[in-house]
Structure 1
Amino acid sequence: MRTTRREAFHLALGAAGTLGVAAPAAAAGRAGDRPGWRTGIEGQRLADLGDGRYRNPVLAGDRPDPNVLKDGDDYFATFSSFEYYPGVPIWHSRDLVHWTPLTTALRKHIGSVWALDIAKHEGRYYIYIPALDTNDPARPLKTWVIHADDMRGPWSDPVDMRIDNYIDPGHAVGEDGKRYLFFNGGHRVRISDDGLSAVGKIEHVYGGWPIPDDWIIEGFALEGPKLLRKDGWFYMFSGQGGTAGPPTSHMVVVARSRSIHGPWENCPHNPIVRTAHRDEPWWSRGHATPVQGPAGDWWLIYHGYENGLRTLGRQMLLEPMAWSADGWPRATGGDLSRPLAKPRPASTGPHGVALSGFTDNCFDTKLAFHGSRRDYARRAKLQDGVLHLEGQGSGPADASPLLFVAGDRSYEVSVELEIDDAAQGGLLLFYNDKLFCGLGLSEGKLHAYRIGQEERWPPGGPATTRRLHLRAVNDENVVTFFHSLDGKSWTKERSFEVAGYNHNVADGFLSLRPGIYASGKGSVTFRNLTYRALPAQQ
């Protein structure tokens, strides 16, 4: 009799609520229940199949609005960071398939960071950042810029460009050598030669591609313009249809012009990328950057939701692109359900980041606070792999939890904590301050949270310890929480279904992230943070 994947998974949990050992990764060599991924650090899934091919995503987990800069032999990618701080993560690659984190470029809180753009001009790097700050009613949506002489930093403090109420900047240099930023809705403004301020007024220069009336989309939503100059043409790659909503919403459209000033002509076979049916493996594909591969061929990098797993956020996808004889681009990867040939020349290298442990560089490479307006260095102290976190707020909702991106369909995460004074600390799966679940410990009490509220039926119950091990096992959106006094014998506390913890339910464009929190008066000491992707059970 064949054991199903879910039955085998729960057999691995063991009897009487004690967590057992799952089947070794070597038995399957894959993460998730769709065949084809290899595994890397901590069992995390890899795009590189080891045979000259890759399978999407090339960068798993929440990597929304990816923007990629080719700089010689190097590629740099960054993403919308919204309310996660430190913000603006930068990743590096040499082949578009293997990616490693480099740094986080934004340390000063300027609001919720939306889709941005990386540019290099006359030897200096720039990142153009739209940010929504609801605490500034006079100017809630501003465009900022940071700059550096090296992508590793140090990056400047953000500079207010005095451009308001637009998102999704895209940098371009015209045939006259002048610099411009394009924005959502087909708008554009000229910027100063130093790239730090606007020159002149916002202009409307492009109306988008007319979407058929019978297409099921979230909205028109012309956004994310990325400009490319090639063979005497300026090409504008834009997103339309809405970045979430129905699976068939998002798409990539292209227009071109002989001049940066237009007029812009739409591609005759728009959209060049779109999810056509809900049965496809990737939903809401869009917001693309065209980039030239190491061998001079062309690729599209964009985001999409994994079918049935919106909780993971919008993941980074890579699709080959070809140019037709009449100078229009065509995406050639289909629905991305099959492995594709890697960019040439085929290469290997490190990929991803270890999520376990509190390392000295963890705030540069993996950990970020949600919604924190305080200097994280004042709250968080790292010493010899131990994190001391000062309490904030009255519970997880206003504690600015410390979170990381998980890109696997199933995984487990555990941590040891010790509370001090009147503090409360715990382990969460956190979407936003109204939608999270997890376990927490305070003096004399174990707390259980679901749908952003403390459980009353049944409550968490009493606790006689200030030191506790917590574990969460997320099996494709069914998460089970455990606690233990010694980290060896585990007691199952309760389970939740979390598929609805996503943008279509809660808004905000975020993802469901594992993490820890400290609230109340006092501090919480965290040790032995451990992450492990769970292999497929065939």
Structure 2
Amino acid sequence: MKRKRFTNPVIPGFYPDPSVCRADDDFYLVASSFEFFPGVPIFHSRDLVHWRQIGHILDRPSQLNLDGVADSRGIYAPTIRHHDGIFYLITTLARQGEERDIHANFVCTAKDPAGPWSDPLWIDGAPGIDPSLFFDDDGRVWCHGNMRPDSPAWRFHRVIWLQEIDLSAMRLVGPRYVIADAADYADRWGQGFCNAFEAPHLYKKDNWYYLLIAAGGTGWAHAMYVFRSRSITGPYESHPQNPVMTHRHLPKETSPIHCPGHGDFIETKTGQWWVFFLATRPYAGYHNYLGRESFLAPVAWEGGWPLVSPGTDRIERSYPFPDLKEHRFPAEPETDDFDRQTLGFSWYFLRTPRERWWSLTERPGYLRLRARPQTLCEQAHPSFVARRVRHLSFSASCEMEFSPSGEGEEAGMVLYKSSRAYFRLVLSRRDGKKALCLVKRLLQDDSDSEIARVFVDSSCLFLRIDTSGRRFRFSWSRDNRRWKVLDATYDVSCLSQVVCGGFTGISVGVFAGSNGRQTGSVADFDWFRYRGAHNW
């Protein structure tokens, strides 16, 4: 009988740096959330392939201060582990500094992975980023992460450190060990391929300790490396086939998957091993605009070493299903009618909310946004509610009621990559009249620029942003049947990571603002619909 197969990515959209743990028959996965709030989305699965979001770990403003955090800073590379009935989350809060970023590492705990989770327990003296926890069978717990050495041999020279941690006091104890140093391998593999040793995770199998790391940066040179030792503190020997996974040897123009790396192994009850990792799906050449997504590949063991995607030298789009009973969840509805009192888990804000500018109860059945002075180009917290774009071809639309009372007030839809790259399709007031405007800011722009305008006589409009071929398209309608396309389309590459940089993909959502002015205007959204046309 032919085995059922699954298709990557198993969690589409920018859910990068996946970490996974098992509790009996259940699996839980977390991903980086950067400058968005709530922080650290958490997913549940019974078969490793089908996942349902069950919440966020950092869902209270008291847990996560993202005030003033720059683009692609915030929460980096969380690790989730389960031990003796307790779930542990360890991660990094990154902020921009004058010379280099400032990092602080912390732990949150919970008995139920759906929450509530504790407030952050900060780990004094834990350097660098990408911390992880390892629970040894002798009862000791080890914290490990990456850090910049005191005297780096080159700009991106990093090492992997290890130190015992007392979780009851939440402090590091005993000596600190360096268990992997990029400088030791620069001559063998090339300095560029040894950049940024990071994302360490430790495992134990057959009395060997295995260290999995990422290196090469998160772009084309990205790769996963494995080392092993009989002692947790080392010395560690390198896998004879390192890197155990990379796509940097494949042609950029024809490879359907780019940049695999930053992985986490998981063993099922049946003894199968798998690895979750980030990768990207290129579109329009080497460009990708969905960001780094969560992929899954099988792992085999041979001669005491793990082999990723055995039998092939690459990550595949499709693999045979794990040796687990398939468990599907109900499909997420395409349309959010805003008929609940809280937003669904797919929605998020830009940075931590410090006031209540949105409501699902002031006008039941509508999402109401209060127009505020904060703009999208600031490192602030604007009135913007967004969700990830998760498909290469998509359509997002909404019904909005808004009456701008003054110049500069606006509300509508936003396609957002960063504070320096976005589109706004908004109803505003221009020269005393209502106008639907398409405004862009792209990386080469010093300011926002209006690229299309049409005067309208209605305060109730239907808006749509979608893809047509390899271009973003912006449309509007008075009746949700006859749509008019604005005479301005843009190649999708304009919001790609290659062009814009950063660690996130694109978001689409609804927005209300007053461009620096105080106002009492509100925008009401009756529904929001997101449809993904296809994944590849």
Counterpart of 2:346? 366
TM superposition shift of 1:328: 4.1
CA contact (8 A) 2:41 2:55 kept: yes
Counterparts of 1:64 and 1:418 in 2: how far apart (Å)? 35
Instruction: Indicate yes or no: 2:347 matched with 1:353.
Output: no
Deviations 1:434-490 (A, max 9, x none): 10113111232322122345434x442434333221101123541110111222221
- AA in 2 matched with 1:349: R
Counterpart of 1:523? 522
State how 1:261-276 maps to structure 2 within 5 Å: 261-275=233-247, 276=249
Counterpart of 1:16? none
The alignment of Structure 1 onto Structure 2 pairs a total of residues equal to 482
Counterpart of 1:344? 323
State how 1:406-485 maps to structure 2 within 5 Å: 406-419=389-402, 421-422=405-406, 423-443=409-429, 444-452=434-442, 453-456=447-450, 458-475=451-468, 477-485=470-478
Counterparts of 1:336 and 1:361 in 2: how far apart (Å)? 42
% identical equivalent positions: 26
- AA in 1 matched with 2:320: A
Q: 1:261 to 1:218 in 2, by over 3 A?
A: closer
Question: Which TM-score applies when normalising by structure 2?
Answer: 0.83
Q: 1:424 to 1:192 in 2, by over 3 A?
A: same
Counterparts of 1:222 and 1:354 in 2: how far apart (Å)? 40
Q: What SS is found at the alignment partner of 1:115?
A: strand
Counterparts of 2:496 and 2:456 in 1: how far apart (Å)? 32
Deviations 1:492-522 (A, max 9, x none): 1131223131333333201111111111223
CA contact (8 A) 1:80 1:116 kept: yes
TM superposition shift of 1:164: 5.3
Counterparts of 1:195 and 1:124 in 2: how far apart (Å)? 16
Counterparts of 2:266 and 2:292 in 1: how far apart (Å)? 19
Deviations 1:195-236 (A, max 9, x none): 733335654222147367787957611000111111111111
Counterpart of 2:162? 188
TM superposition shift of 1:141: 1.4
Counterpart of 1:508? 502
Counterpart of 1:323? 301
Higher relative contact order (CA 8 A, sep 6+): 1
Instruction: Indicate yes or no: 2:117 matched with 1:155.
Output: yes
Counterpart of 1:22? none
CA contact (8 A) 1:174 1:259 kept: no
Counterparts of 1:411 and 1:253 in 2: how far apart (Å)? 35
Counterpart of 1:30? none
Higher mean alpha-carbon deviation, 190-199 vs 116-125, is at 190-199
Counterparts of 1:348 and 1:282 in 2: how far apart (Å)? 26
- AA in 1 matched with 2:531: R
Counterparts of 1:395 and 1:174 in 2: how far apart (Å)? 49
Q: 1:296 to 1:176 in 2, by over 3 A?
A: closer
CA contact (8 A) 2:22 2:28 kept: yes
Deviations 1:291-338 (A, max 9, x none): 113522111110101122521111111111100133444432542345
TM superposition shift of 1:100: 0.6
Counterparts of 1:137 and 1:144 in 2: how far apart (Å)? 23
- AA in 1 matched with 2:168: D
CA contact (8 A) 1:98 1:351 kept: no
Deviations 1:378-432 (A, max 9, x none): 1221144411112233544342522111221101110111225454211121001
Counterparts of 2:300 and 2:204 in 1: how far apart (Å)? 16
Q: 1:535 to 1:106 in 2, by over 3 A?
A: closer
Q: What SS is found at the alignment partner of 2:415?
A: strand
CA contact (8 A) 2:392 2:534 kept: no
Higher mean alpha-carbon deviation, 483-492 vs 70-79, is at 483-492
Counterpart of 1:5? none
Q: 1:408 to 1:195 in 2, by over 3 A?
A: farther
TM superposition shift of 1:97: 0.6
Question: Which TM-score applies when normalising by structure 1?
Answer: 0.83
CA contact (8 A) 2:9 2:295 kept: yes
Counterparts of 1:464 and 1:76 in 2: how far apart (Å)? 50
Counterpart of 1:207? 181
CA contact (8 A) 2:439 2:452 kept: no
Counterparts of 1:500 and 1:227 in 2: how far apart (Å)? 39
Counterparts of 1:392 and 1:213 in 2: how far apart (Å)? 55
Counterparts of 2:192 and 2:331 in 1: how far apart (Å)? 33
CA contact (8 A) 1:418 1:467 kept: yes
RMSD: 2.7
- AA in 2 matched with 1:369: F
- AA in 2 matched with 1:231: D
Counterpart of 1:303? 278
Counterpart of 1:142? 104
Higher mean alpha-carbon deviation, 151-160 vs 378-387, is at 378-387
CA contact (8 A) 1:386 1:527 kept: yes
Structure 2: 5+ residue stretches without partners: 67-73, 147-158
CA contact (8 A) 1:237 1:253 kept: yes
Q: 1:361 to 1:62 in 2, by over 3 A?
A: farther
Q: 1:418 to 1:118 in 2, by over 3 A?
A: same
Structure 2 counterpart of 1:386, from 355, 362, 366: 366
Q: 1:174 to 1:337 in 2, by over 3 A?
A: closer
Q: 1:211 to 1:495 in 2, by over 3 A?
A: same
